[in-house]
């Protein structure tokens, strides 16, 4: 599939509509001075680029629009989930593992966006939990909302 800037913008808009109930610019298409990631579409491929102070820190090329949008969704749901966890931290016992709580919220959000993406992230988080010596069952046990 040939990727266009319009395709990327429409996919990002769909993500923001679900997460925020309105259109939010989740993807920039021009480099800014603050090191924010941006996307360039060239020859039907999406280039996800991070440059800061003239140095290219990341440059990933996507031939599959869904792969790029998955990355956008993971980043945005992580941001929302960590913010939510910090704001609601006072409602939980002091010894609660913040990572477990925000991951539970992130999984919930990803599943709302796309059940396939939710299951994909769930598998990735399961591996990360094992590496961090965290019981995945603890993530499933978090009470949300």
The pLDDT tens digits along the chain (145 residues) read 799 999 999 999 999 999 999 999 999 999 887 778 999 999 999 999 998 888 899 999 999 999 999 999 999 999 999 999 999 999 888 888 999 999 999 999 999 999 999 999 999 999 999 988 888 999 998 888 7
Q: For residue 59, give both structure tokens.
A: 């440059």
Q: Are 65 and 11 in contact (CB under 8 A)?
A: yes
Q: Are 120 and 25 in contact (CB under 8 A)?
A: no
Q: Are 39 and 48 in contact (CB under 8 A)?
A: yes
Q: Are 102 and 85 in contact (CB under 8 A)?
A: yes
């Amino acid at each position: 599939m040939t990727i266009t800037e319009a395709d990327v913008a429409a996919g990002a808009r769909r993500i923001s509509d679900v997460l925020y109930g309105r259109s939010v610019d989740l993807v920039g298409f021009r480099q800014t001075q603050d090191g924010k990631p941006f996307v360039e579409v060239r020859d039907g491929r999406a280039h996800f680029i991070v440059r800061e102070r003239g140095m290219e820190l990341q440059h990933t090329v996507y031939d599959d629009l869904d792969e790029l949008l998955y990355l956008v969704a993971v980043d945005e749901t992580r941001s929302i989930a960590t913010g939510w966890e910090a704001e609601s931290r006072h409602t939980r016992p002091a010894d609660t593992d913040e990572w477990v709580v925000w991951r539970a919220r992130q999984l919930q959000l990803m599943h709302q966006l796309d059940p396939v993406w939710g299951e994909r992230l769930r598998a990735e988080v399961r591996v990360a939990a094992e590496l961090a010596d965290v019981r995945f069952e603890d993530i499933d046990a978090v009470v949300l909302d």
